[in-house]
Structures are given as structure tokens and as C-alpha cells.
Amino acid sequence: MNIYLDLFLSFAKVGVLTFGGGYAMLPILQREVAENKKWATEEELMDYYAIGQCTPGVIAVNTATFIGRKVKGLAGSILSTLGVVFPSLVIIIAIAAFVNNFADSPIVQNAFAGIRACVCVLILNAVVKLWKKAIVDKPTLLIFAIVFILSVFTNLSPVVYVILAAVAGIILKSLEAKK
């Protein structure tokens, strides 16, 4: 298949299967991009995801753009980005046409409650997979613990956490290398 069409369709698949925002996209991205297509390793995917979280815009769009650029440059980034947003655009337009008529329906409210529960499970599965690749030694466990505690007890921007974690990683890994 043409690589450009493959990028568009693969990210359209990610876009159409993602309910619940950028975090819910992670397990689908892992499967499609890292496992099936091998366009990025899980470590690269985590890096793209972290950078995508720190840059302006939607995480899914940013991550798709980074991966598309890696695979096929500027054209790949454009097609990946279009692919990931196209299903959402179509779905939002369709829902917007009918949402006012059905928003108060118990069936619709119950369906969304079920979808939210499912999204939590998908996110938890992604976290477990990422944990195995990211927390590989005592320094990374320490960074995780500090960022986790900070995120629970402070209201800092995710950008601050990522920058602090990067600095801590540089310092801790440099100290470890000197030993």
C-alpha cells in the first residue's frame, strides 16, 4: 500500500477508535504505531507523547504529526495529522446535528457512563505497558515518585513536570554514570 495512504488510514483508525481524549488514544497508538506498523518504538512513542503534551494543541494531533514526520517528512506529518482529525470532525458534525434532541435521554447518558468507565481501563492498561518500559531502575522510579507526588499535591502545568523530570533524569543518570 502507498505509505502516504497507509499513514492517513492508520491515523484515521486511531482517530475513529479513540474515545475520551488524548490519554485514551495511547493504547491504540501503541498497538497501531509501535506494534503493528513499527513506525516508532514504544520509547519513541512515549517521547513523542510527552512532547505532544507540552506543546500547544491536542496531544493526538501533535503525536500523529511527530510520527508522520519521522516516517515520511512534511507530507507524512500532514497526512497523519489529517488522518487523526478526520474521523473526529465527521463524528462531531454528525453528533452536533442531533445532540440537542437526545442529550437528556437516559440511554445516551448511560452509554456515556459506560464509555467513560471503559476509557479508564484503556488508560490503565497503557500506563501498565508504559511503566514496564519507563521505570527501569531506581533513578527512574525516584523521578516517577517525585512527579507523582507533585502532581497530586500541586496544580502545576504538565510542562513543568516534564521539564523537572528531564532535568532530574540528566542529573541522576549523570551521577549514576560517574559511579
Confidence bin at 22 (pLDDT 50/70/90): low
Conformation bin of residue 20: beta by default, left when phi > 0, alpha when psi is -120 to 50: left
Report residue 108 as a C-alpha cell: 445516551
Q: Cα(56)–Cα(58) distance, rounded to whole angstroms?
A: 7
Q: Cα(49)–Cα(14) distance, rounded to whole angstroms?
A: 14
Whether residues 167 and 85 fall in one domain: no
Domain that holds residue 33: 3-133
Highest mean pLDDT among 4-8, 47-51, 57-61, 108-112: 4-8
Whether residues 98 and 36 fall in one domain: yes
Q: Which helix (H) or strand (E) holds 45?
A: helix 42-54
Whether residues 125 and 178 fall in one domain: no
Whether residues 80 and 148 fall in one domain: no
Scanning the structure block, which residue is given the C-alpha cell 500523529? 64
Q: Cα(107)–Cα(90) distance, rounded to whole angstroms?
A: 22
The number of folded domains in the chain is 2
Closest to 48 (Cα-Cα) out of 32, 36, 30, 31: 30
Please give the sequence-ordered ranges of beta strands (E in DSSP) within 3-162, or none if there are none. none
Highest mean pLDDT among 46-60, 63-77, 96-110: 63-77
Note the pTM of the prediction, 2 decimals. 0.60
For residue range 84-97, list pLDDT tens digits in order: 999 888 988 888 88
Whether residues 122 and 151 fall in one domain: no
Whether residues 119 and 87 fall in one domain: yes
Confidence bin at 128 (pLDDT 50/70/90): confident
Whether residues 105 and 64 fall in one domain: yes
Q: Cα(43)–Cα(49) distance, rounded to whole angstroms?
A: 10
Q: What is the pLDDT of residue 71?
A: 95
Whether residues 78 and 158 fall in one domain: no
Whether residues 27 and 106 fall in one domain: yes
Whether residues 114 and 150 fall in one domain: no
Whether residues 66 and 141 fall in one domain: no
* 60 within 8 A of 86, measured Cβ to Cβ: no
For the cut 70, the answer to whether the pLDDT of residue 21 exceeds it is no
Length of the chain: 179
For the cut 70, the answer to whether the pLDDT of residue 19 exceeds it is no
**Region of poorest pLDDT, from 21-35, 124-138, 148-162:** 21-35
* 23 within 8 A of 123, measured Cβ to Cβ: yes
Q: What is the pLDDT of residue 72?
A: 95
For residue range 135-177, list pLDDT tens digits in order: 989 899 999 999 999 999 999 988 899 899 999 999 988 888 8
For the cut 70, the answer to whether the pLDDT of residue 1 exceeds it is no
Whether residues 61 and 77 fall in one domain: yes
